Every structure is written in structure tokens, then in C-alpha cells.
Amino acid sequence: MPRKFIKRYLPDADTLKKYKSLGVFGRLILAPNLWHLNKRSVSGAFAVGLFCAFIPVPFQMVLAAAGALIFRVNLPLSIALVWITNPITMPPIFYFAYLVGTWVLDTPVMEVEFSLTWHWLKTGLLSIWQPFLLGCFICGIVAGTVSGLLMRLIWRNSVLKSWQKRKLSRSNDSP
């Protein structure tokens, strides 16, 4: 069952309490239904977490936690999935989002040399912000929707296999 697999890798409540950025939610993050692992909470957490992963801001974990609270989905999974966009994967993922935005807006791809400075943020980002943000939004919607539906399908398939295995086991045990 996916529940056992997911539970093995999720952080517990005590680990999440240590994040000062999540302190803005106070005791709300301790609501028991935010910690359940079922088809609805896991698929919703995938949708929220992967959508928030495509939001190009430094506080994605806080946004994922807020989304988990609003939609009442699994909180630790929503927060953990945001880390798909980490410092190593962020450049190719956000470049892909930029390409999607230029394709949708039918604008040429601009060659921009990136440097992590305030000057670049003021000048370089100004020239690409529209296709970049649109691409991030589109990729977030697609990733969230597809992953949510895929998790529902995987969960359902896993439960059906478990039922079939149990049924077969019972038929073999009967005289």
C-alpha cells in the first residue's frame, strides 16, 4: 500500500515544528487530519506541493503549508514535495518554465546571462518576467493536476491489488 511507503519518508510533527517559517500557522499545523495518509490527502498534497514548487519565491514551504491548511491535505507531504525545486534542480526547471511561457506567448527566447545579484534582478529579470511567470504558472497547474490524478490512480490500483491478494488468500485457506 502506498501509505507504508510514503510514511517511511515523511517528516514527523516534531521535525516540522522546528521550522520557524511555519510558526506563522501556530497550532493550526497540528490538526490531526493534516497528518492522515489516505487517497484524498495524499493526492491533494501532491497537487498542492508540486504547484507550489513552481512558484519562484524563496518561501515555497510556507505557501505549501498554507495550501495544505486551506485544502485540508497532508501537510508534511505538501511541504516535502516543494523541495523538488532545490538549488540543483531549480535552473533547469525554471528554464523549462520560461520556454513554456515563450511558446505560449509566441515570443522569441532571449539569451539572458544569469547572475545572482540585485542588478540582474532589476535588469535581466525585467526582460523575461512575463513568459517566465506564465510558464511557471502553467507548469505548476499541469504538474499539480497530473500528479494529483496519478496519485489517485496509483492509490486505487494499490488498494485493488491488496483486495485481490486478500481474496485469493482467503480462497486458498478455505477447505
The model's pTM: 0.78
| Number of domains observed in the structure of the chain | 1
* Res 171: pLDDT: 77
* Res 3: pLDDT: 63
d(CA 58, CA 44): 22
Could you tell me which residues come within 8 angstroms of residue 144 by beta carbon, excluding any fewer than 6 positions away?
46, 47, 48, 50, 51
* Res 58: pLDDT: 83
Which segments of 6-138 are extended strands (E)? none
Whether the per-residue pLDDT at 7 is higher than 70: the answer is no
* Res 16: pLDDT: 65
Structure confidence at residue 22 as a pLDDT band (50, 70, 90): low
Which residue range forms the structural domain that includes residue 141?
2-173
Residue 6 burial (CB count, 10 A): 18
d(CA 29, CA 33): 10
Could you tell me which residues come within 8 angstroms of residue 159 by beta carbon, excluding any fewer than 6 positions away?
1, 39
Could you report the per-residue pLDDT of 112-149, keeping only the tens digit for each?
776 667 777 677 777 788 999 999 999 999 999 999 99
